[in-house]
Amino acid sequence: MASVPSLASTVQQRLAEGLSAALPEAGSADPLLRRSDRADFQANGILALAKRLKGNPRELATKVVEAIGSDGVLKEIEVSGPGFLNITVSDAAIIETLAARAADDRLGVPFNPDAGTTVIDYAQPNVAKEMHVGHLRSAVIGAAMVEILEFTGETVVRRHHIGDWGTQFGMLIQYLIEHPHELDHKVEGADVEVSGEEAMSNLNRLYKASRTLFDSDEDFKTRARARVVQLQAGDEETLALWQRFVDESKIYFYSVFEKLDMDIRDPDIVGESGYNDMLQETCRLLEESGVAVRSEGALCVFFDDVKGPDGNPTPLIVQKSDGGFGYAATDLSAIRDRVQNLKASTLLYVVDARQSLHFKMVFETARRAGWLNDEVKAVQLAFGTVLGKDGKPFKTREGETVRLVDLLDEAIERATAVVEEKKEKAGLSDDEVAENGRYVGIGAVKYADLSTSAVRDYKFDLDQMVSLNGDTSVYLQYAYARIQSIKRNVTDAQPTAHAELELAPAERALALHLDQFGATVTEAAEEYAPHKLAAYLYQLASHLTTFYDQCPVMKAETRELKENRLFLVDLTARTLHRGMALLGIRTPERL
């Protein structure tokens, strides 16, 4: 379903081509076109070009103005300042270009000609533990990147690197052996589904009980430690019990992901345990190549620029002196698997910024070992901390980590109240109110997460998130629903582009912003920056608001005007719908 090339080109691209043609000596230099207040666009590229050609920028700019042909795109061009070009494009070119893109399912968003395979590591909670806001961020940002990358033609392999291995399982399993019915479900039967809530409360109870015993009973501690050894040795009974913990946790994870309206698939859940068979080999390869060395019994990798507070180098420990493998060995093995078996050209990790040093060391180690190279790159899409309203890391009043499910439920509750208020006006049934409440509440949480640059911390403020005004998903969802309502109400006209019409300022502004959609998606994909798409959509909805104030659709003076305005709002709705879907947010038809 490739786009026809002409559909993919935007007004801005057509303009850029015209400028390049007018100045052959520019070669492939970027004219650096930007949207501008003074005209539609400003071209800033001539300054750099003049420097390179050792010419006078104003003279060069004047030469462009004289030589540029009129291919129908250009309306006015003038030199300004030291050698900028202010450019106004023709109304007809804007509408014609948008019409071509509206005819395309992909809205003219280009495929990345250099698309490869990205293995993305995201949504990675830990077994037998409650999910918290940090897991929310990874899931939400990761899911958006999956959609955005796939839309630009990238092959995406999802990996949920859940924490399903480690010494804590010795304690849990030993406890379960000694208290065999603790994980049994109250109601037994093939058709009875255990709720995520119930699964988690089982695990919590078990975790607390075994922890207490572990801390107070030396004999239990010894038995628990022996159990870890059996787990690592692959003892069958031990593994079967470990599997029960994993399965119970998955019931819980899936219930949260479902609440998040997120599609997580079982084969993509490859947790830490999935790399067990590779750990020995990973260590052997690192040691034989000299990348890792033995130091006080442990297998370590050293870095010139990583030092502890005492000034001594802090190594990456691949194998502990007792023979145990940790987080680093697993991540290094996962890299080998993803590069060699999954044929990744990019490894993308959506993980908390507080793990940046770990990834820096892991990536550098993999580079020294030759697993990463010029053909395969690894990137951490690091995200900041979620803060409470007080600006401190998000905690309950009792100082505990806030449970993700509680937050989501509260968001849905607040959103449902907002939707309920407009119930009559929008003509919604009770079921629709409940459904929209979920879409608005979950959308609000996702949007708040996605609308600031990932690496920044942000405040979790539900009042702000479900507000109808401002940079929120509800504002965008209303913009979409309002267009859909207009389209339902106009029965005497169809969205039709009329390139012969003169555009009002609010129409031009909306249309020129629509022109930027493809470039925005490309940028969000290239820079792993979903917030750029969110910002674009917010601006789109803002342009739409101004447009409504100044350009009536239903009461447009002529039929052509009405059709053309319908065309503009319809393309806006499709762009909002597509863009929001890329962010994982629903756009209800009525709100």
Interface residues with ligand ARG (CB under 6 A) are 121, 124, 126, 161, 163, 331, 349, 351
Minimum Å gap between C-beta 437 and ligand ARG is 29
Q: How many helices (H) and strands (E) does the chain have?
A: 22, 13
Closest CB to ligand ARG among residues 48, 387: 387
- Residue 100 in contact with residue 108, Cβ under 8 Å? yes
Closest CB to ligand ARG among residues 74, 361: 361
b/e string for 409-438 if b means 16 or more Cβ within 10 A?
Answer: eebbebbbebbeebeeebebeeebbebbbb
Q: How many CB atoms lie within 10 A of CB 67?
A: 12
Closest CB to ligand ARG among residues 15, 119: 119
Minimum Å gap between C-beta 401 and ligand ARG is 12
Minimum Å gap between C-beta 65 and ligand ARG is 54
Closest CB to ligand ARG among residues 161, 532: 161
- Residue 115 in contact with residue 153, Cβ under 8 Å? yes
Minimum Å gap between C-beta 134 and ligand ARG is 7
Closest CB to ligand ARG among residues 57, 163: 163
Residues 6+ apart with CB under 8 A from 470: 464
Annotate 232-282 with DSSP letters as a single string.
HTT-HHHHHHHHHHHHHHHHHHHHHHHHTT----GGG---GGGGGGGHHHH
Minimum Å gap between C-beta 454 and ligand ARG is 15
Closest CB to ligand ARG among residues 47, 332: 332
Closest CB to ligand ARG among residues 224, 351: 351
Q: Which of 193, 190, 326, 310 is nearest to 255 (CA)?
A: 193
Dihedral sign computed on CA atoms, order 170, 125, 340, 371 = negative
Closest CB to ligand ARG among residues 91, 331: 331
User: CA 588, CA 140: separation in Å to the nearest integer?
Assistant: 19
Write the CA distances from 142 to 132, 151, 234, 257, 530, integer angstroms.
Answer: 16, 14, 33, 13, 10
Minimum Å gap between C-beta 328 and ligand ARG is 9
Minimum Å gap between C-beta 161 and ligand ARG is 4
Q: Which of 83, 93, 23 is nearest to 57 (CA)?
A: 83
Q: Which of 83, 82, 73 is nearest to 31 (CA)?
A: 83
Closest CB to ligand ARG among residues 182, 352: 352
Minimum Å gap between C-beta 124 and ligand ARG is 4
- Say if strands 298-301 and 84-89 run parallel, antiparallel, or are unpaired: unpaired
Minimum Å gap between C-beta 262 and ligand ARG is 17
Closest CB to ligand ARG among residues 241, 362: 362
Give 32: exposed, middle or buried? Use CB within 10 Å, 0-12, 13-18, 19+.
Answer: middle
User: CA 465, CA 451: separation in Å to the nearest integer?
Assistant: 11
Strand partners, 383: 352
Closest CB to ligand ARG among residues 435, 457: 457
Secondary structure letter of residue 503 according to DSSP? P
Minimum Å gap between C-beta 304 and ligand ARG is 24
Dihedral sign computed on CA atoms, order 492, 497, 499, 505 = positive
Minimum Å gap between C-beta 287 and ligand ARG is 22
Element (H, E) at 58: helix 57-67
Minimum Å gap between C-beta 166 and ligand ARG is 10
Write the CA distances from 170 to 70, 167, 206, 278, 479, integer angstroms.
Answer: 76, 6, 13, 21, 53
Closest CB to ligand ARG among residues 161, 438: 161
